[in-house]
Structure 1
Amino acid sequence: MDIILVPGFWLDASSWSEVTPALVAAGHRVHPLTLPGLEAVDAPRAGIGLRDHIDTVVAKVDAIDGPVVLVGHSGGGAVIHGVVDARPDRVARAVYVDSGPLGEGAAINDSLPVEGDDVPLPPWDDFEEADLIDLDDGLRAMFRARAVPEPRLVTSDQQHLHDERRYDVPATVIACEFPSAVLAEWIEAGHPYVAELARIREVEYVDLPTGHWPQFTRPAELGAALLAAVDRRPR
């Protein structure tokens, strides 16, 4: 299977490097992506928006023969959901790593501090304690050293969706910061945060208790969870 890995904010393709060995060893073809504006700290980011990131992944899907599995971490979950909407007949499964599908008209996170065209990685004190579980001082230093500012428009652009066949694409949610039981409670209560997720017809939940960056804090376990999701057949 061809597996396209979409990183979350401030990260490039290399952020998946400790996760992919299990997938490669199992015979899968992995395609970790660096999205526009994330190539380097000094890369131009003016005018790069959410649709540019979605279109980059769509182009990768179109360049591959056969079905693909999409994996999106954090803000990458919004990106892969836009791709599912654009190519619902090409996606075998969408895997949301501590993330979920972003619905029509919503933005990923328009409250992050902006510096011109950039949204730099904020100070650790700006994050919730649950975000930072298992992210020790060494991992924090590594993350900050490799972090690239996110294009401002990617964080604030509204999601626009067009094809309700996206709800037929099976999904896996790898729940880290919030356990799956909490997500189930939110769905039952009609919480807007999970409104789009609630409309997907087949969703499996996998609990991987850690903070918001399991590719750094529990990479082997995340690799195993992704392998299981990729091998899962739709009901």
Structure 2
Amino acid sequence: MSEFDPVILIHGAWQGSWAWARFAPCLEAAGFMTHAVDLPGNGADGSDPATVTFEACLQHVHETVDVLDRPVSLIGHSGGGLLITAFAERWPASVSRLVYIAGMMLPGGESFEEIVKLVITEHPQAAGIWPHLVWSKDGRTSRVPAEAAVSFFLQDCPEEDAAAAAARLTPQGEGGRAVTTPATAGRYGRIPRLYVEALEDRSVILPVQRAMQARAPGALVVSMPTGHAPQFSAPAGLARAIMPFLAASLLAKTNPDCLNCESPI
């Protein structure tokens, strides 16, 4: 068993566990145990994405963590950031570290759409992928056209790789995405956080990422010169950026006087 806390990888909207296939081996080579989650309704479990709720996604992550019976580090990409915040708020004793990769790191009770509205007047491109989504007739699910996925999520990937990833995206239910979540100082706020900025992100643009950091302060920050999915376009570089922070949880456990140790980033 690894000395490091297990790492739970939570994908963003329209994705699946496959989004971590390049990144997870980089962590595992350094001795970390990883678990990439497939959230309900993303095509892996056969459930209708229109019926999936945020609570169902949260409980699914909890079932994964509960089996391990030890604290974990949670990494959330994009919309997966909502889930890691909600998980840490509800089960703080089960979480040692939180990592947001171009993620939705929101203060309690605020939505991502509210953050975008704060930024969009000065930065019209803050709308990101939103204007390009294709909606079901009832508005309960959305999908990302392949061309838009390549342009907004994967522009820094080789053309063939980007096309292959875009083809794997699945419809996303609004019930599992458009939410707010509590985030209190005494629960979620006591857990060390790292925010990974994607400097060339066209979906969650940098001014939006920084607005979230300002409204939910307290996270360490590292920057990656990538688009929205560095775990796909630059997996080794992303692992190098994150591993010192993840490893700091072991330092905190082995040094009783260092319970709030920060990483050497």
Tell me if structure 1 keeps the 8 A contact 2:92–2:191: yes
Larger Rg: 2
- In the other structure, the counterpart of 1:194 is 213
Mapping 1:35-50, distance limit 5 Å: 35-40=39-44, 43-50=47-54
1:34 maps to which of 38, 49, 65: 38
3-state SS of 2:135 partner:
coil
Determine the C-alpha separation between the residues in 2 that align with 1:153 and 1:177.
29
TM-score scaled by length of structure 2: 0.73
Structure 1 residue 79 corresponds to structure 2 residue 79: no
Offset from partner CA, 1:90-119 (integer Å, 9 cap, x none):
211000011142233334459554214321
Q: How far did 1:124 drift?
A: 4.0
Which of 217, 226, 229 aligns to 1:213? It is: 229
Q: Determine if contact 1:86/1:163 at 8 Å carries over to the other structure.
A: no
Aligned-residue CA RMSD (Å): 2.9
Q: Are the counterparts in 2 of residues 49 and 157 from structure 1 also a CA contact under 8 Å? A: no
State the partner residue of 2:141: 118
Identity value in percent: 27
> Aligned residues, how many?
224
Structure 1 length normalisation: TM-score? 0.82
1:62 deviation in Å? Answer: 2.0
Distance 1:66 1:196, change over 3 A: farther
Are positions 1:156 and 2:178 aligned together?
Answer: yes
Structure 1 unaligned runs (5+)?
Answer: none
Compute the displacement of 1:221 (Å): 1.0
Residue type at the aligned position of 2:236:
A
Structure 2, unpaired ranges of 5+ = 115-129, 250-260
- Range that drifts further, 161-170 or 213-222: 161-170
Correspondence for 2:243 among 222, 227, 230: 227
Contact between 2:146 and 2:163, CA under 8 Å: does it hold in 1? Answer: no
Where 1:164 maps in the other structure, the secondary structure is coil
Amino acid aligned to 1:211? G
Q: Is the 8 A contact 2:194 2:220 kept in 1?
A: yes
Q: Is contact 1:11-1:148 (8 Å) kept?
A: yes
* Distance in 1, Cα, partners of 2:7 & 2:149: 33
1:170-197 alpha-carbon deviations (Å, 9 max, x no partner) = 0011111369xx77x95xxxx4x33552
> How far is the alpha carbon of 1:125 from its aligned partner?
4.5
